[in-house]
Copies of this chain bind each other. A is one copy, B any other.
Amino acid sequence: MNVIKTIKEMQQYVQETKLKDETVGFVPTMGYLHEGHLTLLHEAKRENDTVVLSIFVNPTQFGPNEDFDSYPRDFERDERLAKEAGVDVLFYPTVEEMYPNEPTIQLKVTKRVDVLCGAKRPGHFDGVATVLTKLFHIVTPNRAYFGMKDAQQVAVVDALIADFHFPVTLVPVGTIREEDGLAKSSRNVYLTEQERKEAPFIYKSLQKAKQRITEGETNPEKIKKEIEQDLRNHTNGRIDYVDIYSYPHLTQIDHLSGRIILAVAVAFSKARLIDNLTFEV
């Protein structure tokens, strides 16, 4: 596995790769790899000749009161996991390499962001779109892999690629779950024993709602109330939001039809968990 730290070397590497008519699969991350990332790498490996993993804790997607400095980092462990996953190139640039100058041009995401988790993180997706624009130009992948756990991020990347005609195919990868259905997350370790027993009901409530919709219920307010009731019946978590939108546009709908997302955030004592289902009605 190559570890590349400069933009120039990375661009050179992929240029040579492409001359050999080899496809490049790209998994952009902020490191501290978990099973979700490994699944993305696995998919990238399966579909491409070359796999590039980037590890870059991107300062521009953190708000002023967010945890950029304390965001967990463990490069040695990540490097080992990447090697085991068959990554060909680990791109690991510094902040100075990625942001050498005060920018002249800003990216502003004007839709799909004022809902769900984005509503509480103004500017977050501007930073995500900015760093991905850079990374897509540096890695020039054929395919880029993102986890559906963060469905809103996938929606923003979808818009980024479409709006600017990036020659990149977005590959959304389904959420990886524990056997009892709980979406895998590094935050699950912060759950108490009791909360860990309750947490799978988040996914169960979403599945039940999907079932109700499949059976013909078309009123989003009714479904939202049912999910909320379900969560209250089975968990002691505080419901942060239960929302239903069109997907990937993330606009309000009065009547359930087309592709939709059911999304939930529940705050337990020391961990805020999110989960979602997207499907065609």
Which residue numbers of A lie inside 8 Å of B, CB to CB? Answer: 7, 11, 15, 18-19, 21, 101, 103-112, 129-130, 133-134, 137-138, 140, 156, 159-160, 162-167
Asked if A106 meets B101 with Cβ closer than 8 Å, knowing A7-B165, A138-B165, A140-B167, the reply is no
Q: Report the bound CA distance from A276 to B30 in whole Å.
A: 45
Q: Report the bound CA distance from A111 to B103 in whole Å.
A: 8
The answer to whether B110 touches A105 (Cβ under 8 A) is yes
Selected contact of A134 from candidates B18, B110, B165, CB within 8 Å: B165
The answer to whether A160 touches B105 (Cβ under 8 A) is yes
Q: Report the bound CA distance from A103 to B112 in whole Å.
A: 11
Q: Which residues of B are found within 8 Å of A15, using beta-carbon distances?
A: 167
Q: Which residues of B are found within 8 Å of A108, using beta-carbon distances?
A: 105-108
Chain B: minimal CB distance from A141 (Å): 12
Most chain B CB inside 10 Å of its own CB: which residue of A101, A105, A162, A163: A105
Asked if A129 meets B110 with Cβ closer than 8 Å, knowing A7-B165, A138-B165, A167-B11, the reply is no
